[in-house]
Amino acid sequence: MALTDANSGHITLGEYDYTCRLTRSRWAWEFLRRNPDFREAALTTDQSRISEKPACHGVRLLRPDSDQSEAEKFGLAFFPDIDANGHDANTFWNPAIYARTLTVQVTPRHPGEHDEIFKRCVATCEVVHLTDRVGRESLLVRGNGHVLQVACSGLSLLSVEPVKMKLIIEDVTTLDDTLRLISRAQRVLGNEENPEEPEWTRSSLAWRNALIALDAHEAGLTYFETATIIYGSDRANEAWQSASRAMKDEMRRALARGRELRDGGYRDLLAAQT
């Protein structure tokens, strides 16, 4: 969703359907890009300092051409397009704030060997390769409506000699967390069919409502109008005419949660990534 849509006051529930497939790191971006201090910092930074060029198999190569200290203050490798949503933005988080991620180990590829991971990525996904200002390489892989940031270790993927990738999982100590990370990779690289209706978890629904509450508030809408967007006019009218304050308090909590995540709490989403 573009923030300009929210500022016009025309907000619909369906505009947020794409968020049901976002991981915590992409949710973190959704809240951060609504932070006015962040937006001001990004808008005053020369975006031409990021070089971009195409590579083989449709891969896009990004490299910052100069210091990115302003972006790093917010945990980013550089400032992406601040009006691009959590799925579309080329948001690369700095490892200092986003350590729990999938990693591919890059090793020499011998004659006759195949790189199954790379083959699957370029065949079914959109791939963006970043070399940050200290030489670390990362991939952003989009597929099936999901987005995955992958760290690279070992050799450079841009090596002249043939290389291959091996998936490894770092900084995860429990079996459940390991299985969740593998499941995330499968959702991106697999042959999953997109459901007609969004499938929400308890957490993603709460984050969506916090995001809507933020956008509605910025658009000058009331708590009642926010509830109408989320629950429809019939349920909102019924709740506002009743003696119960449950839905009214829920809207207040949603806005408070949205502000908290926007104003720094997004870092907690990154730290808890699994």
Who wins on pLDDT, 165 or 5?
A: 165
Phi and psi, residue 235, nearest 5° = -70, -40
Q: What is the mean pLDDT of the chain?
A: 87
pLDDT grade, residue 9 (50/70/90)? low
110 in Cβ contact with 161 (< 8 Å): no
155-184 pLDDT, tens digit per residue, is 999 988 889 888 776 666 666 666 666 666
What percent of the chain has pLDDT above 70?
84
Question: Residue 31, Cβ neighbours under 10 Å: how many?
Answer: 25
96-116 pLDDT, tens digit per residue, is 888 766 788 899 998 888 888
Question: Residue 46, Cβ neighbours under 10 Å: how many?
Answer: 9
Question: Residue 202, Cβ neighbours under 10 Å: how many?
Answer: 7
In this predicted structure, the answer to whether residue 190 has a pLDDT above a threshold of 60 is yes
30-73 pLDDT, tens digit per residue, is 999 999 999 999 999 876 678 999 988 889 999 998 889 999 99
The residues near 10 (Cβ < 8 Å, ≥ 6 apart) are none
Average pLDDT over residues 221-250: 97
In one-letter notation, the amino acid at residue 253 is R
pLDDT grade, residue 10 (50/70/90)? confident
Quick one: 20 exposed, middle or buried, by C-beta within 10 A (0-12, 13-18, 19+)? middle
Residue 184 carries which DSSP code? H
pLDDT of residue 48: 62
pLDDT grade, residue 6 (50/70/90)? very low
pLDDT of residue 260: 98
